[in-house]
Structure 1
Amino acid sequence: MKLRIDHPFWVRVSIALLLPVMLPIAPLLAQPALPLIKANSTQVRIKDGYVVREGIWTVSPQLKPDTYTALEPFTNKTITFYTDVDSIAFSVKPGHRYAFNILLQGKDTCLTQIVVGNVPNGLATSGQSELPLNTEQLAMDFVVFRDYLKHEHPGLYRYRAKEKIDKLLDSCLLSIDRPLASSEFAKKILFSISHIQDAHTGTTFTGALVRRYQDSTKLFPIDLYFAGDKAFIVCSNSGQIEVGSELLSINNRSITAIRQDLFSYLPSDGSIQTKKIHTVNNGAFPFLYKWIIGHGDSLTIDYKPRDKHVRSATIGAELVKNFTCTFDRRASTGKLVDLSFPQPNVALMTITTFDESRLSNAKLDFRAFLQGSFAEINRTKPATLILDLRNNAGGLDEYGALLFSYLAKGPFNYFTTVESTHKKSTVAENHLLNRQLAQELSFKGKVYILINGLSFSTTADFCAITKSNGRAQFVGEETGGGYYGNSSGQLLKIELPHSKLNVLIPRFNYVNAVKPAIYPDRGTIPDYEIIPTVDDLLRKRDVQLQYCLDLIQKK
Structure 2
Amino acid sequence: MKIGQILCLASLLIGLSCQTVSSQNLTPAQTREDLSYLKRKLDLLHPGMGYYTPQPQMEQLYDSLYNRLTAPMDYQAFYHHVSPFITALKDGHTNLNHHKHYFNKHTRYVPFFIRPVESSYFISHNVSVDTSLRRGTELLTINNRAIADLHHELMNADHSGSDGDNLTGRQQWSLVQFADYYAAWYGSMDSITITYRRSGDTTIRRTQLSCPTLREFRSTMRDRYSSEIDRLAQQSNLSVRVVDTLTRTAVLRVSSFMGLKKKDPFQWAFNRRLKRAFKQLREDNIQNLVVDMQGNGGGIVLNSARLLRYWMPKRFRMMEQETMKRAARNELITRWNPVSALNFSLQYKADHSGGFSSRSGHRRYRPHHKDAFKGNLYLLMNGASFSAATTVLAKTLDAGIGTFIGEASGSAYWGDFAGHFKTVTLPNSRLQVRIPLKKMTHAVTADRANGFTVEPDFTVTRSYDDLMTNRDYILDYTLQLIRQGVVARHPTRPRSLQAYRMLSGNSSSTQ
TM-score under structure 1 normalisation? 0.69
**Bigger mean CA deviation after superposition, 506-515 or 249-258:** 249-258
2:257 counterpart (327, 342, 354): 354
1:223 counterpart (96, 113, 118): 113
Question: Does the 8 Å contact 1:359/1:365 carry over to 2?
Answer: no
Distance 2:103 2:120 in 1: 25
Matched, 1:249 2:141: yes
Distance 2:364 2:102 in 1: 45
Q: How much does 1:310 deviate?
A: 4.5
Q: How much does 1:382 deviate?
A: 2.4
> What pairs with 1:35-184 in structure 2 (closer than 5 Å)?
126=17, 128-130=20-22, 131-184=24-77
1:314 counterpart (185, 207, 221): 207
Distance 1:260 1:188 in 2: 18
2:150 alignment partner in structure 1: 258
Number of positions where the alignment pairs a residue of Structure 1 with one of Structure 2: 427
Q: How much does 1:185 deviate?
A: 1.8
1:304 alignment partner in structure 2: 197
1:416 counterpart (310, 320, 328): 320
Question: Does the 8 Å contact 1:484/1:511 carry over to 2?
Answer: yes
1:400 counterpart (295, 298, 304): 304
RMSD: 3.2
Matched, 1:234 2:124: yes
Q: How much does 1:216 deviate?
A: 5.2
Query: More strand per residue: 1 or 2?
Result: 1
- Given residue 528 of structure 1, which amino acid in structure 2 is its aligned partner? F
Distance 2:397 2:195 in 1: 43
Q: How much does 1:234 deviate?
A: 2.5
- Given residue 388 of structure 1, which amino acid in structure 2 is its aligned partner? D
Deviation track 1:314-342 (CA, whole Å, cap 9, x = no partner) reads 32343426658526577342522222322
Give the match's secondary structure for 1:192.
helix
Distance 1:296 1:279 in 2: 21
Q: How much does 1:128 deviate?
A: 4.8
Question: Does the 8 Å contact 1:235/1:243 carry over to 2?
Answer: yes
2:477 alignment partner in structure 1: 547
Q: How much does 1:242 deviate?
A: 4.8
Distance 1:424 1:521 in 2: 30
1:271 alignment partner in structure 2: 165
Question: Does the 8 Å contact 2:397/2:449 carry over to 1?
Answer: no
- Given residue 356 of structure 1, which amino acid in structure 2 is its aligned partner? G
Distance 2:212 2:257 in 1: 36
Query: More helix per residue: 1 or 2?
Result: 2
1:388 counterpart (282, 289, 292): 292
Question: Does the 8 Å contact 1:490/1:508 carry over to 2?
Answer: yes
Q: Which has the higher contact order (CA 8 A, sep 6+)?
A: 2
Deviation track 1:11-55 (CA, whole Å, cap 9, x = no partner) reads xxxxxxxxxxxxxxxxxxxxxxxxxxxxxxxxxxxxxxxxxxxxx
Distance 1:307 1:481, change over 3 A: same
Question: Does the 8 Å contact 1:155/1:487 carry over to 2?
Answer: yes
Q: How much does 1:486 deviate?
A: 0.8
Distance 1:312 1:517 in 2: 53
Q: How much does 1:522 deviate?
A: 4.0
Question: Does the 8 Å contact 2:419/2:438 carry over to 1?
Answer: yes
Question: Does the 8 Å contact 1:272/1:521 carry over to 2?
Answer: no
Give the match's secondary structure for 1:258.
helix
1:527 counterpart (442, 446, 457): 457
**Bigger mean CA deviation after superposition, 517-526 or 460-469:** 517-526
Question: Does the 8 Å contact 2:249/2:288 carry over to 1?
Answer: yes
> What pairs with 1:205-220 in structure 2 (closer than 5 Å)?
205=98, 208-211=101-104, 214-215=105-106, 217=108, 219-220=109-110
Distance 1:242 1:444, change over 3 A: closer
Distance 1:376 1:446 in 2: 16
Distance 2:68 2:362 in 1: 43
Question: Does the 8 Å contact 2:98/2:184 carry over to 1?
Answer: no
Distance 1:150 1:545, change over 3 A: same
Deviation track 1:415-437 (CA, whole Å, cap 9, x = no partner) reads 11210122559999443423443
Distance 1:378 1:296 in 2: 53
Distance 1:178 1:227, change over 3 A: farther
1:431 counterpart (360, 366, 383): 360
Question: Does the 8 Å contact 2:189/2:211 carry over to 1?
Answer: no
1:15 alignment partner in structure 2: none
Matched, 1:462 2:392: yes
Give the match's secondary structure for 2:316.
coil
1:509 counterpart (419, 439, 443): 439
- Given residue 444 of structure 2, which amino acid in structure 1 is its aligned partner? V
- Given residue 309 of structure 2, which amino acid in structure 1 is its aligned partner? S
Q: How much does 1:290 deviate?
A: 4.7
> What pairs with 1:481-496 in structure 2 (closer than 5 Å)?
481-496=411-426
Question: Does the 8 Å contact 2:380/2:404 carry over to 1?
Answer: yes
Distance 1:209 1:295, change over 3 A: closer
2:237 alignment partner in structure 1: 336
Distance 1:424 1:543, change over 3 A: farther
Percent same amino acid at aligned positions?
24
2:175 alignment partner in structure 1: 281
Distance 1:493 1:480, change over 3 A: same
- Given residue 225 of structure 1, which amino acid in structure 2 is its aligned partner? R
Gaps of at least 5 residues in structure 1 are 1-124
Gaps of at least 5 residues in structure 2 are 1-15, 327-349, 486-511
Deviation track 1:367-420 (CA, whole Å, cap 9, x = no partner) reads 233334334434444222211222222211112122212211123332112101
Distance 1:509 1:521, change over 3 A: farther
**Bigger mean CA deviation after superposition, 339-348 or 297-306:** 297-306
Q: How much does 1:165 deviate?
A: 2.4
**Bigger mean CA deviation after superposition, 140-149 or 384-393:** 384-393
Distance 1:349 1:188 in 2: 43
Distance 1:208 1:202, change over 3 A: farther
Distance 2:272 2:359 in 1: 22
